[in-house]
Structure 1
Amino acid sequence: MRVKGIKKFRSTKNGKIYCYHRKTGKRIQAEFGTGAFFAELARLDDLVAEVDPKPGTLGGLFAEWRAGPEAQELAPRSQSDYAKMLDYLAPLEAMPLVELDRPFVIRLRDKAYRKRKRRFANYVIAVLSSVCSWGVDHGLLDENPCRGVRPIKRPKSLPRANRPWTDEEREAVIAEAPKHLLVPIGLGMFAGLREGDAIAVTKTAYDGTAIGKRTNKTGQTVWWPCPAPLRRILDNAPKHSAVTLAANSRGRPWTESGFRSSFFKFIRKLEAEGRVGKGLTFHGLRHTVATTLRELGYDNETIADALGQSSPGMAKHYAKDADLRKKMTGVVKRFDRRMNKVATKRVKPTE
């Protein structure tokens, strides 16, 4: 029997069928197919039944923004992040826009901080501010109530977030990383790809000498001639049937949560052994690449090209893409020499 709106699993231990309501994630306790089962399913469906948002409310503002081109033009990762923030704000959708003022936004920020901590609270307000700014432009609000609401500052006592990796840490990680982690780590370490891009980049994006792709977060084109260490990692990676360059230990594409769990488990192991310091993150590899390029004398625009970061200067026209290959070839030659120089210094002479 096929029933819409549920996820059904059969236990391999006892053969029982377990059902979960797809939208709420709650387990349906009643036996599958019975009258009680369908009654419980209907009750859960009613809990998430969609109600048309009323004009002049926060829900109405969200609905109109979602239908507009600005929301559709967001990069896939940004669309996902915005959706999470708007889901968090969903209980407020019946609130009239005339009641949305700066003191309320500050209380909202502080409540999010108490529940989800600083970064989440700041991102909620940033998303709300973006949507409200859109509402002002479209005549739905007189002013942006988020304007002037300051983000919660990062405590000075906290260690630096996403700090660059040291040369010793990079060498230790490359030497000890399991094969299924080595490819995404190499893409972050030697190409500066974000975690999401490193596990999603396809085999067709690598031609044996360079990687070219459009980043998930900013939609910017990145073309990066692979330094020698990265080519060795990619060319010697275990064969698998996944469409992505990186694959997990079962030869399947990584999920973000699966990769993050495996990555930090590996890093914590090296921490415990004293091989790396505390605070290593995958995103810190982008900071490492940016820091190295800055030390080599490259300007911010070149570094933005290398990392696929958006900026007003890059957005002026598409002509820069025509020069990107020549420009990045020179950049990576110097980057590659720097990496090889560090590795050569650490190779002990044979007796």
Structure 2
Amino acid sequence: MKLISAAVPTVGTALQLEALLTDHADKRVWDLLDDYLASPDFLRLSASTRQEYRRVAGHLHDHIGHVALDQVRRPFLRSLRDRWALDGHRAATLRLQLLKNACRPLIDDEVLPLNLFFGVNRVKGRGRCAEPHPVWTPAEVADVLAACAHMPGLVRAVGLARYGGFRRDDLCRLPTTARVREGARVRYRWRSGKSLIGIEHLEDPRLTELLDERTTSAAPTIAYNRRGGAWRPRQLSQALARVLGRLEGKGKVRSGLTWHGLRHTRGVELAEAGCSDAIIMAQLGHTTDRSAQIYRRQASRRRLGDVGQELVNASVLFHPTATVSPDDGWHIRPRRP
């Protein structure tokens, strides 16, 4: 029986806190999951994230749904994380994040401990790094575009990712109505599927040239598959993987290139052009400046690497008799009289 009533005087009183604890005393983990899947915090997520979380929620419901709330403590969470780690770092991270999201309302209400997840760190994958997506070189982009010239829809997708910075999932559903002509210029007006924010910017002239010279289709999306229909995310990834596999076998591209690497290439290009974090966020549809900082760091590292070699070249030219010792660095040989 619920003890909260209209007679409760103010929020945060001892009486109401006791009532909250009594109200949730019989709840179990599956109740938290059901409440979260119907909450506004869940419904505001992108469609792909909601679908993935529903799948993960089914797994949690079957395995730990019967666990009572008073058993959800840090030792229990650590044991869960260690057990989930055997299924891979991605599975463990998704399950832990979903459980954290489901527990958040009760943590805010102080029904669960405020530091419940403190020290329960995510499982890191092997070889995890802060910049997992290599930046494409101009030659690699040109080789890929030439290799898939017989698939104009795939060429369009590569061009949109490289010169527009579009995410893979956005490429699959970017409608033709998002591309609006304004005289000699083309403008994009669309809504990002992941960050759920409106984006508006001019089209890169290189992308305009690439799209205008390719045949169009009756598909409602700008990029399309062989059948003239909209791409599916996995189908698009497989199409690019086949092209990259052939080119990698010929030694024309490096291994590890991805769709998201094309987006990073656009971000680094913006950073090298001197764009601020706010400009990069507006161009690529980011809601925070974290990715913009990564792009600027990559651009700065590239410039500093070039500057370092130029300084070495200038030093060698200034001291033409200088030699390099593998043990203790530079030695200047005296000139002969």
State the alpha-carbon separation in 2 of the partners of residues 57 and 125 from structure 1. 16
Counterpart pick for 1:246 among 223, 233, 236: 223
Q: How many residues align?
A: 259
Residue 190 of structure 1: CA displacement?
0.6
Q: Which residue of the partner structure matches residue 196 of structure 2?
A: 219
State the alpha-carbon separation in 2 of the partners of residues 157 and 257 from structure 1. 23
Q: Which residue of the partner structure matches residue 257 of structure 2?
A: 280
Q: Which residue of the partner structure matches residue 77 of structure 2?
A: 105
Counterpart pick for 1:267 among 238, 244, 249: 244
Alignment of 1:62-73 (within 5 A): 62-73=33-44
Amino acid at match of 1:125: L
Confirm whether residue 124 of structure 1 aligns to residue 101 of structure 2: no
Q: Which residue of the partner structure matches residue 292 of structure 1?
A: 269
Q: Percent identity of the aligned residues?
A: 26
Residue 241 of structure 1: CA displacement?
1.9
Confirm whether residue 256 of structure 1 aligns to residue 227 of structure 2: no
Output one character per residue of 1:274-293: Cα deviation in whole Å (capped at 9) or x when no partner.
Answer: 11101100011111111111
Q: Which residue of the partner structure matches residue 134 of structure 1?
A: 105
Whether the 8 Å CA contact 2:271–2:280 is kept in 1: the answer is: yes
Output one character per residue of 1:239-285: Cα deviation in whole Å (capped at 9) or x when no partner.
Answer: 32221111110111111121122121111111111111011000111
Output one character per residue of 1:15-62: Cα deviation in whole Å (capped at 9) or x when no partner.
Answer: xxxxxxxxxxxxxxxxxxxxxxxxxxxxxxxxxxxxxxx951111011
Whether the 8 Å CA contact 2:36–2:102 is kept in 1: the answer is: yes
RMSD between aligned alpha carbons? 2.4
Amino acid at match of 2:242: K
| C-alpha spacing 1:118/1:157, structure 2 compared with 1 (3 Å) | closer
Q: Which is higher, the Rg of structure 1 or of structure 2?
A: 2
Amino acid at match of 1:199: C
Whether the 8 Å CA contact 1:180–1:247 is kept in 2: the answer is: yes
If the length of structure 2 is used for normalisation, what is the TM-score? 0.70
Residue 155 of structure 1: CA displacement?
3.8
State the alpha-carbon separation in 1 of the partners of residues 26 and 237 from structure 2. 41
| C-alpha spacing 1:284/1:255, structure 2 compared with 1 (3 Å) | same
Whether the 8 Å CA contact 1:125–1:146 is kept in 2: the answer is: no
Q: Which residue of the partner structure matches residue 173 of structure 1?
A: 144
Q: Which residue of the partner structure matches residue 169 of structure 2?
A: 196
State the alpha-carbon separation in 2 of the partners of residues 304 and 217 from structure 1. 14
State the alpha-carbon separation in 1 of the partners of residues 115 and 51 from structure 2. 23
| C-alpha spacing 1:193/1:249, structure 2 compared with 1 (3 Å) | same
Q: Secondary structure at the match of 1:212?
A: strand
Q: Which residue of the partner structure matches residue 327 of structure 1?
A: none
Residue 180 of structure 1: CA displacement?
2.4
| C-alpha spacing 1:293/1:159, structure 2 compared with 1 (3 Å) | closer
Name whichever of 128-137 and 201-210 sits farther off: 128-137
Amino acid at match of 1:162: H
If the length of structure 1 is used for normalisation, what is the TM-score? 0.68
State the alpha-carbon separation in 2 of the partners of residues 111 and 100 from structure 1. 15
State the alpha-carbon separation in 2 of the partners of residues 148 and 88 from structure 1. 24
Output one character per residue of 1:59-80: Cα deviation in whole Å (capped at 9) or x when no partner.
Answer: 1011112222212222323322
Q: Which residue of the partner structure matches residue 187 of structure 1?
A: 160
Whether the 8 Å CA contact 2:133–2:257 is kept in 1: the answer is: yes
Confirm whether residue 79 of structure 1 aligns to residue 50 of structure 2: yes
